[in-house]
Structure 1
């Protein structure tokens, strides 16, 4: 085997001839090829759901349930088209965007906008690290005091400071743990860990909603009907549009999805595009597997997202509670604990509290883990496209990916230390994603129409829904810009 062939074997982004495989034709075999979407679901079911979605439910009650469902479903059509493009052309998202017409500075204008958005979403990563710190402090207050005292014996001023910000130490430990895990494994480990965590978080949250039905916070048919009135309360407009940007497949996840599809092997198994009918058959087959992956993951993260929203609407909203600031985790814990008061399940409060804290850790940590893994891969791809740094081979690229797996969590930790307001950080990242969504959807439609291979689709129905997704996403982003401008004008002297 030549040196070049050896590199190709280990390069998940190459398409060697011996990697070609026939697609599975039975559902039982196709479902075993699901994976990229579950990695995406691990990123999706995170701060947006635990914090922003429950915060939206706390402010608006059941009224915006329709928006949550719409946000979860509508963007998957764009996700599928990006996945199809990766399989047919073997290109990453940024490499595809690099071919778009328009201004260039080393690479396409939209790649630069992605970079700006990605840096803005580090605010969301910051919120994850800080909120995990809050959960850990709440779970182990004695350990927090001991850690602060230990630091105080070395630097007294720091010890006094940490006694009032005890989540800072836990946030730092979380950052270190994420970095170590990111440096120790590749795609397969990522897929296994995220699948387990997504299943655990989804089951726990859905179980919590079911338990509500035997408490004073039970959800009635009238509540669900109120969620489909298509109303948009003025008091929750800003949070609603931020939620649309974060819940479901956000802009970050849309751009990252083809990378996971390529690393999973969908494009390699189809093989390089050619006029051969056998290639077209394989590409159609692996595209169907990708569609199964996308829609299966949509079902998973929609169930989890709706469950979080219902908990916020049913428990927090009637009490006027808003999860934010240093009291975010204690407030969110009440969402799980208060429904048990005065019921035969009251004896389970201690176990439920532990379950909530573990669930909060799993939700936030896995999102930090997956988002950093994705952002690091895309950053290396961006540096290659812009010509700043071109990897000599797959090993060099992997080393640079690991560099950013260290840089980004530390950057986010600094942001949390600077602002210490998780909900505000999440809202900033959500707005950045909401504004980027129509550009990604529009670019996807342009690429599909320009480079489409009719042998691989899409169908007319899929095409119609992709256009509807683009129109809906653009309408939401436009209103978001209008709302931001109005708010700015109102606060200007």
Structure 2
């Protein structure tokens, strides 16, 4: 199919204009970008970082998780509003910012550096999926190592000690094939199903705790709402603030999903016509419904993961990391059943956890790569490094990076094999960029404001509060990290000795 017959989701042709839905039920039928975002959010940050935070800090940082999930949505909504009313992607909007330029804006370059750092998170997803698959199919892992040993004894011996490598590779290839075989609609369908299944399973696991020795009390929840940060958990808390809820990566990606869903196309090219303003307000309300509905979904899932870590892993001083991460995480689901009337569910729970872990990590790998590839194509075009002449050229670039990024991340996991450390790298990079994104969003909001479609005064106040809260957490956490930094954590990630 050539450019003349392909539908360009980023174009705003007059014949694509549609009136917004006039009822809540119809509006719910138009949501979708937020659920894709939720699929990305409920991933490594929740299964690994959030549970690890609960394991280390107990219930004391529940308030931080809730704040992280809630506060950044106000910035997300304003970015979505800008995309709908101006028809611009995130990078195209940030490309108009004042300041240093090297082909494109300074903030677009910072996005590139952050995105490359977050490949460490993708690496953790691929490796942890490999661990889960190995636990589910240990006989198959041994058979693969045995077969490899017949071809090369050294390679067979290597796979015997790194049996998750085969499954991580297989998962990476499966993700690449799926990414190359479909566009936005398939992405939305797959992620919606997986988000629903993972959320229901995790919430059910928390509810089951109430019939075990790991039950969660009102006192535990009260402790979690006290505004304190245990010193030993500061680095992990900073990383968690960057990853949980809408992280920097998701803020950059959300306008792309809004545009590909068709919100901006339905509004049409910006004009002084009153009909345009009415459509813009209507589709912006749909986008707000989408954002807040997804916030409820990912907040419920995130809190559930945190409570499991705090209730089960923390009392036993268990810290999920390294090659034993998935076996340790599985104990959150299996140990509470021991010695109870629910013990007969142990095998089913184990299978459910492994399938859930696979779904959580695979969908995040899938969505994050799809988003990063779209933003990379946009970045290359804006910077002049690789111009995308037409929709087909952009699609080819997106598909190329749908291959490159998963393979790059797989190499990172093979090199370091420490999922929790890799996640911290990506989380800290996102946390550092969050205040800049929020500040840039407020600047664009003020500079390009259109009173006909502007946010309410109350919404403006909350967006400014979000900016100050995000900035305060980022600056304080950076100060603490620099003050307490040593090379111990770095050494653990390197395959060689320093000094």
**For 1:5 and 1:56, how far apart are their aligned partners in 2?**
50
Show the counterpart of 1:297: 294
| 2:135 maps to 1:138 | yes
**For 2:14 and 2:120, how far apart are their aligned partners in 1?**
42
What whole-Å deviation, never above 9, does each CA across 1:132-186 have from its counterpart, x for those lacking one? 0000011111100001111122222111111000001110001000000000000
Show the counterpart of 1:350: 347
| 2:77 maps to 1:89 | no
**For 1:451 and 1:162, how far apart are their aligned partners in 2?**
57
| 2:151 maps to 1:154 | yes
Show the counterpart of 2:77: 80
| 2:413 maps to 1:423 | no
Runs of 4+ in 1 over 4 A off after TM superposition: 489-493
Show the counterpart of 1:172: 169
Report the alpha carbon displacement of residue 6 of structure 1 after superposing the two structures with TM.
6.5
* Equivalent residues of 1:8, 1:16 under 8 A apart: no
Show the counterpart of 2:361: 364
Match of 1:195 among 184, 192, 196: 192
**For 1:158 and 1:116, how far apart are their aligned partners in 2?**
35
Report the alpha carbon displacement of residue 486 of structure 1 after superposing the two structures with TM.
1.1
Q: For the structure 1 residues 403 and 9, does the alpha-carbon distance in structure 2 shift closer, same or farther, using more than 3 Å as the test?
A: closer
* Equivalent residues of 2:129, 2:168 under 8 A apart: yes
Show the counterpart of 1:450: 447
| 2:37 maps to 1:34 | no
Report the alpha carbon displacement of residue 74 of structure 1 after superposing the two structures with TM.
0.1
Q: TM-score, normalised by structure 1?
A: 0.98
| 2:456 maps to 1:459 | yes
Show the counterpart of 1:221: 218
Look up the SS of the partner of 2:121 in the other structure. helix
**For 1:8 and 1:456, how far apart are their aligned partners in 2?**
33
**For 1:311 and 1:67, how far apart are their aligned partners in 2?**
16
**For 1:372 and 1:478, how far apart are their aligned partners in 2?**
29
| 2:328 maps to 1:331 | yes
* Equivalent residues of 1:7, 1:393 under 8 A apart: no
What whole-Å deviation, never above 9, does each CA across 1:73-129 have from its counterpart, x for those lacking one? 000000000000000100000000000000000000000000000000000000000
What whole-Å deviation, never above 9, does each CA across 1:226-253 have from its counterpart, x for those lacking one? 1111111111111001000000000000
Task: Describe how 1:87-126 pairs up with structure 2 within 5 A.
Answer: 87-126=84-123
Look up the SS of the partner of 1:10 in the other structure. coil
Look up the SS of the partner of 2:4 in the other structure. helix
**For 1:218 and 1:381, how far apart are their aligned partners in 2?**
49
**For 1:465 and 1:155, how far apart are their aligned partners in 2?**
61
What whole-Å deviation, never above 9, does each CA across 1:338-359 have from its counterpart, x for those lacking one? 0001111101100000000000
Report the alpha carbon displacement of residue 396 of structure 1 after superposing the two structures with TM.
1.1
* Equivalent residues of 1:8, 1:14 under 8 A apart: no
Show the counterpart of 1:208: 205
Look up the SS of the partner of 2:283 in the other structure. helix
Show the counterpart of 1:254: 251
What whole-Å deviation, never above 9, does each CA across 1:321-378 have from its counterpart, x for those lacking one? 0111110000000000000011111011000000000000000000000000000000
**For 1:407 and 1:6, how far apart are their aligned partners in 2?**
24
* Equivalent residues of 1:48, 1:243 under 8 A apart: yes
Report the alpha carbon displacement of residue 480 of structure 1 after superposing the two structures with TM.
2.2
What whole-Å deviation, never above 9, does each CA across 1:289-323 have from its counterpart, x for those lacking one? 00000000000000000000000000000111011
* Equivalent residues of 1:97, 1:443 under 8 A apart: yes
Unpaired runs of at least 5, structure 2: 489-497
Show the counterpart of 2:60: 63
Number of corresponding residues: 490
What whole-Å deviation, never above 9, does each CA across 1:463-490 have from its counterpart, x for those lacking one? 0011011001101111122122112369
Show the counterpart of 1:269: 266
Q: CA RMSD in A?
A: 1.4
**For 1:347 and 1:488, how far apart are their aligned partners in 2?**
47
| 2:394 maps to 1:409 | no
Q: TM-score, normalised by structure 2?
A: 0.97
Unpaired runs of at least 5, structure 1: none
